[in-house]
Amino acid sequence: MDKAKRDSSSINDEELFNTTLAVIEDLADLLDEETTIVRRQDIPALQELMKRKAKLVVSYQSNIKCMVRDGVISRLSKDMSQRLNSAGEKIAIAGEKNALMIKSAVQATQLLINNVIEKIKQEALPRQGYNDLGNGMQNQNLYSPTCRPVAVSRTA
């Protein structure tokens, strides 16, 4: 009876392993695809991809939790452990590239928004200070290009 239980658990372990490995590889491929889509600035494709990504991330998290909770990782063969480690490295590299691309896209978008805001401020807000002091004084017949302003102290 104990042997039958172990055999059925190893079948489940293998199924869980294969499912998890497929999810990891799909997620790594999706991260690479997302990097390409962000680079192309294809917003409609990005929206569809985000839905797929959310589903894969949930599957990835639940599969890994099951593997850890049930002790499947400790029961994996050496070959399976190596395959899982390779898949983990692949998703880590894809994740790093993806994060760098997303960060660059966010910074570029933020810079663009800041530039637009500054341009709007320059055009919409009145300039502060005097525009042309000499021109205003000439209109009032108070301006003389040869006179210099003088400060007088009346405290003596």
Minimum mean pLDDT among 37-46, 53-62, 143-152: which range?
143-152
Tens digits of residue pLDDT in 49-106:
999 999 999 999 999 898 888 888 888 889 999 999 999 899 999 999 989 988 988 8
State yes or no: pLDDT of 12 exceeds 50. Answer: yes
CB atoms within 10 A of CB 101: 17
State yes or no: pLDDT of 1 exceeds 60. Answer: no
Minimum mean pLDDT among 13-27, 55-69, 136-150: which range?
136-150
- Write the CA distances from 86 to 2, 15, 89, 104, integer angstroms: 33, 18, 5, 27
State yes or no: pLDDT of 141 exceeds 90. Answer: no
Q: How far apart are CA 59 and CA 91, in angstroms?
A: 14
Which domains, from first to last, does the chain contain?
2-127 (1.20.58)
Q: Where are the beta strands (DSSP E) in 46-145?
A: none
Predicted local confidence at residue 156, as pLDDT: 62
Instruction: Round the CA-based radius of gyration of the chain to a whole number and report it.
Output: 34
What SS3 class is residue 42? coil
Predicted local confidence at residue 20, as pLDDT: 92
